[in-house]
Structure 1
Amino acid sequence: MAEVRVTGGVVRGVTEDGVARFLGVPYAAPPFGANRMRPPAPVVPWSGTRDASAYGPTVPKGDYPDQYAPLFAEVVIPGDECLNLNVWTPEGAASLPVLVWIHGGAFVNGSGSVSAYDGSAFARDGVVCVTINYRLGPDGSLFTEGDQGTDNANLGLQDQVAALRWVRDNIAAFGGDPSRVTVAGESAGAMSVSTLLALPSADGLFAQAITQSGATAHTLTAEIGLTVARSFAERLGVDATREAIAAADLDLLVKTAEEFHNDAQAVPDPEKYGALAARVLVFAPVVDGVVLPRHPLDAVAGGASGNVRILLGSNRQEARLFLVAPGVIDLIDEAELTAGSAAYGLPPDGLETYRRNHPGASPGDLLAQVVSDWYFGVPAIRLAEAHERGGGRTWAYVFDRPRPEENHGFGSAHAVEIPYAFDTIDDPSIAPLIGPNPSRAVADSTHAVWVRFVTDGDPGWAPYTAATRTTGVLTETVTVVDDPRGEERAVWDGLV
């Protein structure tokens, strides 16, 4: 399978240890010039055979904040053909299930070329794996006054749809079955997947979905989207129109977007952003009324994704990433714990439930658990509940490794599960987050769950329902539990 014909022309990949990989394959035209800040345009055909042995250009984006940069190996590759994807497939494959991965990075960072997302292990186990780039920051999420009633909003999501259409039209040439596509993502990628469930243009492009540590709670209303656009334009020094922002110097726009996002995270302004201040994602999907007609949770509950099987979940200690990385978790005292929990809407008796169920935990540890549940755990449950109401089947998981003492205090923090799911734990760039001695048993059990779900549509335990709340707890093995930490889940009823 050295050469494959796809939309646009012929690509030549590389085969190693029985896995063929095709990297940097364009799925849409370069989003510059006449295509700047517009919906994705068709691939520009090429002549001859295109080399697909190396990752392609990445989209314009800034840097991770200093405290996170050592933990996440960012890839920056210059070039215009940044709307590209990568394919790993077993040599001689035919009619295999397909996994399409949408990366995270708060809608401002990341790419499909991050080494933790190497799809070789999936191909080894009989799954064709695809990872994609999509536009980030204002290029991907800008919503202005002039966009109302048009299809110019949510361009990052539209890129993802274009990639899924490319998969539908081309994946058979790589040995994949276009009727057996699972779309998956983590963090902003999971929020994207959750939104794709409700996107009319994505209907029929995938049969299954996996959402890791991200749901629909971070979707912006049109009003907040307009507020973000006006605030960003003011900072950039231009009018708050798509045309004016698109005409700005690209390097200046990227740098301004990076600073804008980082400042919103560091010093959120409730008066300006309302509920968005707590969620600290200024660039995110917007309910614009055209591309995304309804809030995803409402659409899912109404049956928009009733025919899609979903595996969803979160990590046990997500928020430790945001408290350990900046070195503040041990500085949090009782007063800050009380005030912080109240800021997230947790009443005093709810905090007492956490204290009772975590004896000996420090104030910082308790706040990390409260925020983990509010930001990630409970929104995943709300999506599962909505999917059940909409007639769909959902399987839930909680990832609960490593322990904090095994990986520099992070524990099962945000993004830690990714290399276990991809079975890329031996990549040295990942050690700062997962620790120097990651567990082979955890990788084997977690990766096997993903492969089984992608292949069979069943991870190995009963579906989640509001009556049973059956959940697979992922450690060195899979333990099936009904309503894990149910007391803590219940304190958020009516709040999240």
Structure 2
Amino acid sequence: MADQADQAGPVVGTPYGAVRGRYEDGIAVFRGIPYAAPPFGPRRFRPPVPPEPWEGVRDAAAFGPTSPKPPYSEAFARILSDPVVPGDDCLNLNVWTPEPGPGARLPVMVWIHGGALTRGSSAVPVYDGRAFARDGVVMVSVNYRLGVEGYGLFPDAPANPGLRDQFAALEWVRDSITAFGGDPDRVTVFGQSAGAISIGALLAAPRTAGLIHRAVLQSGPPEAADRDKVRRMVRRMAARLKIPATAEAFAAVDRDLLLRTQAEVSKLSSPVLGGPAFGIVVDGDLVPRDPLEALTEGGAAPDADLLLGWTSEEYRLWLVPGGLLERINRLGPVAVAGAMARCHCGPEIPRGYRALSPDVATAEIVGQMVTDHLLRIPLHRLADARAASSYLYEFAWPSNVPGLGACHALELGFVFDTGDVPESARLAGEGAPRELADAMHAAWVRFAVDGDPGWPAWDASHPVRVFGADGPPVERGPRDRELALWDAESVNPLTPAEPRPAPPLRPGPSTRRTAPLSAVRRFRRSGGAGRP
């Protein structure tokens, strides 16, 4: 229906009715298109259902409502943008296309945002899709349910409604994207943090066969959350609200009160030291088994090309804004014991990290150790299992904002080529390098077009494309020494040229008397916990 475009903007048909977008810098943009009905009233905590068809042409000029979510703390709100658009019709998506109409058959990229499954939306300005459309890709970004609405675990409701929303959005792409100029047989799903974790689960889900052809996992591995940790979040909320821990009881609670309660309970968890948290769980239906096992051992999504990576200092986003970095350094051995509990490891692991980096502070040891355990090891494992079709990268450019370094989420403005928007500068600072955005964005486009981002596929030499460092563009095994510490077969990760012995991490009196789990609790009581 693109030929029906008039001066107000292009008109395209969807299975539920026509939508009118806008031309912006020569790109056709459609915002706030519903892919499912509002998930409230009798549909609250239930799987998504199709939207009601509409008559005439629906205006698609503005972003649709965002899912209910608590605000970031003041420290994180200074560097992370998270717009709120009020309204119930929050299961919506946006499309940027250079050529609306069924004849183009361009590659498609579907963006799933991060935010710990509790925050974020497709309306974040950094996620603007015009640069992808400028370079010949139809880009789609998706809203989905968050927090207890999307990932609460109840005895009287199906699990993972937020992930089911994402699945419904992918079905919408399959059924609708041709009319916007896209090719439903060339769909790349890309996401960061919780978005990447979501993609891992979607890739592993048998029901998504044929919906995903390539995938980009940025700073998030395929994983399933411990069901008991998710239940504990729900139970703690129920205890504060003085209601049963059931979907029926939660559905009767005022939405704002539910968000305030969720925010209070979430203070007991930390990305570094764990604790109860919302997450995707094995549900026997959409997620029949652990996603990492399904992808590495079960043959799930065998033909999907993968682009996998991380930032050099992921942990700095979690530790710097709220002053947690300084508290970890102050607590020293107690924080190390907490990290050992988080990683389920003995003291030989932090000792090995100290031997490799004898001059860094305790917080960096803890941060890199937890990052490797939670992120880099599973992504290496995934690449090892699918070497011929996997490409790995590391983002190493340090932010111009003091203390943030090459932190979690910093790469996003470079991937989207949106470094000129003020929200990107919050995290990157002023003067981010233009050539780095050119290189990174072009690699993502190339991957969507033909599955090759421009450097060697994973093999026994472990090639990693490093963006923003001073060394060669491709390094071989840049994290191998650290990751070898986790291998029971590896006795000494140091090379012959570096024969330093591993100095002991001398615990203070408190850790001699206290188990690591108690150290975690003491660390949280000290003010070291809390999600952004």
In the superposition, the TM-score normalised over structure 1's length comes to 0.90
Matched, 1:449 2:443: yes
Instruction: Give the CA deviation at 1:134.
Output: 0.2
Q: Map Cα deviations across residues 123-149 of structure 1 (whole Å, 9 max, x no partner).
A: 1111111100000011111222234xx
Asked whether the equivalents of residues 316 and 372 of structure 1 are also in contact (C-alpha less than 8 Å), the reply is: no
2:119 paired with 1:125: no
Moved more, 315-324 or 251-260: 251-260
Match of 1:264 among 269, 273, 280: 269
Give the 5 Å matches for 1:457-468: 457-465=451-459, 467-468=460-461
What's 1:414 paired with?
408
Structure-2 separation of matches of 1:440 and 1:358: 32
Q: Contact 1:303–1:387 at 8 Å: present in 2 too?
A: no
Alignment of 1:85-484 (within 5 A): 85-91=93-99, 94-147=104-157, 152-217=158-223, 219-265=224-270, 278-280=273-275, 282-301=277-296, 302-331=298-327, 332-333=329-330, 334-336=332-334, 338-343=336-341, 344-345=343-344, 347-387=346-386, 393-402=389-398, 406-465=400-459, 467-475=460-468, 479-484=473-478
Aligned residues of 1:145 and 1:226 also touching (Cα < 8 A): no
CA distance in 2: counterparts of 1:232 and 1:198, whole angstroms: 31
Which amino acid is 2:93 matched to? L
Deviation at 1:341, TM superposition (A): 4.4
State the AA in 2 paired with 1:457.
G
- State the AA in 2 paired with 1:240: A
Change (3 A) 1:156 1:242: same
What is the RMSD computed on CA atoms of the aligned residues? 2.2
Q: What's the offset of the Cα at 1:263?
A: 2.8
Code of the aligned partner of 1:258? A
Structure 1 residue 308, shift from structure 2 partner: 1.0
In structure 2, the gaps of 5 or more residues are: 3-9, 490-532
Of 47, 60, 68 in structure 2, the residue corresponding to residue 60 of structure 1 is 68
Kept in 1: contact 2:14–2:176 (CA 8 A) = yes
Contact 2:94 2:141 (8 Å CA) reproduced: yes
Q: Can you give the 5+ residue segments of structure 1 that lack an aligned partner in the other structure?
A: 267-276
Q: Letter of the aligned partner of 1:86 in structure 2?
A: N
Seq. identity, %: 46
Partner of 1:269 in structure 2? none
Alpha-carbon deviations, 1:54-105, whole Å to 9, x = none?
1111111111123211111111111121100010111457111010000001
Residue 32 (1) aligns with residue 44 (2): no
State the match for 1:75 in structure 2.
83
Contact 1:97 1:127 in 2 (8 A): yes
1:175 Cα offset (Å): 0.6
State the aligned residue count.
474
Q: In the TM superposition, what is the alpha-carbon distance from 1:484 to its structure 2 partner?
A: 1.1
Letter in 1 for 2:81: A
Structure 1 distance, partners of 2:215, 2:457, is 14
- Once residues 494 and 61 of structure 1 are traced to their aligned partners in structure 2, the CA distance between those partners, rounded to angstroms, is 42
Please tell me whether the aligned partners of residues 39 and 91 of structure 2 are also in contact (alpha carbons under 8 angstroms): yes
User: Could you tell me how far 1:438 is from its partner in structure 2?
Assistant: 0.7
The structure-2 alpha-carbon separation of the partners of 1:156 and 1:92, relative to structure 1 and needing over 3 Å to count, comes to closer
Amino acid of the structure 2 residue aligned with 1:287: V
Note closer, same or farther for the CA distance 1:341–1:254 as it changes in structure 2 (3 Å cut).
closer
**Displacement of 1:291:** 2.5
Cα distance in 2 between the residues matched to 1:281 and 1:315? 25
